Amino acid sequence: MNCIDMQKTSHLYSSLFNHRALRLFLLTAFAVLLSSCSSQATKYFTESKLDISNVVLISIDGLRPDAINKQNAEHLIKLTKSGLYFPNAKTIQRSVTLPSHISMLTGLDIKQHKVSKNKSLPGHLSFPTILEILKSQGKKTAALYSKKKLGFLFPPGSVDYIFGPGQNGIDYNQANANQLAAEFARIWNQQNYHFTFIHIREPDAYGHQYGWMSSEYLNQAIPLTDKAIGNIINTISKGEKANNTLLIITADHGGKDKTHWSKRPEDLTIPWIATHSQLTPETITDTQVNIVDTAPTILHLFNAPLPKGIDGQVIKNFLP
Ligand SMILES: [Zn+2]
């Protein structure tokens, strides 16, 4: 079996087998085989030149990029000016929380993962997330999230540490931005999590209640989110891994009036920001970045294998 056949077979097995133990075994086995395929590898397998030991991905639920340019977003504005910033990134076209996050963390468009419902679903996702893939590669992973339905993304055993509603007795209302930042500070100083996913929900909640870009959205939700982001940055910058940590900030969807599930530009446009000590600041408006590019880009930066057939592509601007 050549490398291309192995990649196809790997994807086939990932698609067919829902039994987690078997699927994880196969995933790990094929990941090892795929890692020996560098000579025939696609562009995704080229080695990253950034010195990255850790990646922190923050998804801010319902954050519109044009909200960052308004007042009261000191830390987010700094990030857009100190890293790579794609202010015209797009989410999938069903711009709702659960399907969008599945696309963010698997690299699969909704046409492939086929999850269109946006509510707590029974069972778990049958496609591997980047947390599961990285864990199978020996990396430590953590997920800190604030909506119970996102638990669908994290089957037992797929993540090293989980903090979220329905996990460890945490109540829905307790997983607010401040608590997530505090929990991040606690675990960041205790364990070396190579990849950490953090989900903050307040802009979406204020958008639904008061309207996107309303006074409450801009002057309450954005500042309290920005404060949590500042605390997370402070935690990273004080630690030993500060210069080797890549921070990515994006969103699952935007919003207009009090909803976000149409195909309006305000619903589909999301920010995509990456900062790292070796990245040259640049705002890029002429490159189309999609939420599905998040997963393959992160896998690429860890030199981890990509599942064959995913829709996302590595964001090439990372490469010097
Ligand atoms: Zn959402």
User: What's the average model confidence in pLDDT over 82-88?
Assistant: 94
Q: What pLDDT is stored for residue 319 in this prediction?
A: 63
Q: How far does residue 60's CA lie from ligand 1's centre (Å)?
A: 8
User: What's the average model confidence in pLDDT over 141-160?
Assistant: 94
Q: What pLDDT is stored for residue 11 in this prediction?
A: 39
User: What's the average model confidence in pLDDT over 223-246?
Assistant: 96
- Does residue 37 carry a pLDDT above 60? no
Q: How far does residue 48's CA lie from ligand 1's centre (Å)?
A: 31
How far is residue 170's CA from residue 165's CA, in Å, rounded to a whole number?
5
Question: Cα dihedral angle (198, 202, 208, 213), rounded to 10 degrees?
Answer: -110
Q: How far does residue 59's CA lie from ligand 1's centre (Å)?
A: 9
- Does residue 12 carry a pLDDT above 70? no
Q: Which two tokens stand for residue 57?
A: 């991905």
Q: How far does residue 136's CA lie from ligand 1's centre (Å)?
A: 28
Q: pTM of this prediction? A: 0.86
* b/e code 277-309 from CB counts within 10 Å (16+ = b): eebeeeebeeeebbbbbbbbbbbbbbebbbbbe
Q: What pLDDT is stored for residue 173 in this prediction?
A: 61
- Does residue 36 carry a pLDDT above 60? no
- Does residue 177 carry a pLDDT above 60? yes
Residue scoring higher pLDDT (146 or 26): 146
Q: How far does residue 254's CA lie from ligand 1's centre (Å)?
A: 8
Q: How far does residue 282's CA lie from ligand 1's centre (Å)?
A: 27
How far is residue 129's CA from residue 227's CA, in Å, rounded to a whole number?
28
- Does residue 204 carry a pLDDT above 90? yes
Q: In the chain, how long is the greatest CA-to-CA distance?
A: 60
Residue scoring higher pLDDT (52 or 11): 52
Q: What pLDDT is stored for residue 174 in this prediction?
A: 64
Q: How far does residue 63's CA lie from ligand 1's centre (Å)?
A: 9
Q: How far does residue 117's CA lie from ligand 1's centre (Å)?
A: 12
Q: How far does residue 85's CA lie from ligand 1's centre (Å)?
A: 21
Q: In the chain, where are the structural domains located? A: 1-41, 49-318
Query: Which CATH superfamily is 49-318 part of?
Result: Alkaline Phosphatase, subunit A (3.40.720.10)
Q: How far does residue 285's CA lie from ligand 1's centre (Å)?
A: 23
Q: How far does residue 255's CA lie from ligand 1's centre (Å)?
A: 9
pLDDT band for position 10 (50/70/90)? very low
Q: What pLDDT is stored for residue 280 in this prediction?
A: 85
Q: How far does residue 270's CA lie from ligand 1's centre (Å)?
A: 11
Contacts of 303 (CB under 8 A, 6+ apart): 45, 47, 48
How far is residue 135's CA from residue 141's CA, in Å, rounded to a whole number?
6
pLDDT, mean over the chain:
85
Q: What pLDDT is stored for residue 48 in this prediction?
A: 53
Neighbours of ion ligand 1 (CB under 5 A): 61, 97, 204, 252
Q: How far does residue 75's CA lie from ligand 1's centre (Å)?
A: 21
Are 291 and 97 spatial neighbours (Cβ–Cβ below 8 Å)? no
User: What's the average model confidence in pLDDT over 299-306?
Assistant: 92
Q: How far does residue 91's CA lie from ligand 1's centre (Å)?
A: 11
User: What's the average model confidence in pLDDT over 211-225?
Assistant: 97
Q: How far does residue 164's CA lie from ligand 1's centre (Å)?
A: 15
Q: What pLDDT is stored for residue 317 in this prediction?
A: 72
- Does residue 39 carry a pLDDT above 60? no
Minimum mean pLDDT range among 74-83, 193-202, 233-242, 276-285: 276-285
Q: How far does residue 204's CA lie from ligand 1's centre (Å)?
A: 6
Q: How far does residue 153's CA lie from ligand 1's centre (Å)?
A: 14
Q: How far does residue 187's CA lie from ligand 1's centre (Å)?
A: 25
Q: What is the pLDDT of residues 125-144, one digit of tens each?
A: 999 999 999 999 999 999 99
Three-class DSSP labels, the chain: CCHHHHHHHHHHHHHHCCCHHHHHHHHHHHHHHHHCCHHHCCHHHCCCCCCCCEEEEEEECCCCHHHHCCCCCHHHHHHHHHCEEEEEEECCCCCCHHHHHHHHHHCCCHHHHCCCCCCCCCCCCCCCCHHHHHHHCCCCEEEECCCHHHHHHCCCCCCCEEECECCCCECHHHCCHHHHHHHHHHHHCCCCCCEEEEEECHHHHHHHHHCCCCHHHHHHHHHHHHHHHHHHHHHHHHCCCHHHEEEEEECCCCCECCECCCCCHHHHEEEEEEECCCCCCEECCCCCCEHHHHHHHHHHHCCCCCCCCCCCCCCHHHCC
Q: How far does residue 12's CA lie from ligand 1's centre (Å)?
A: 30
Are 97 and 204 spatial neighbours (Cβ–Cβ below 8 Å)? yes
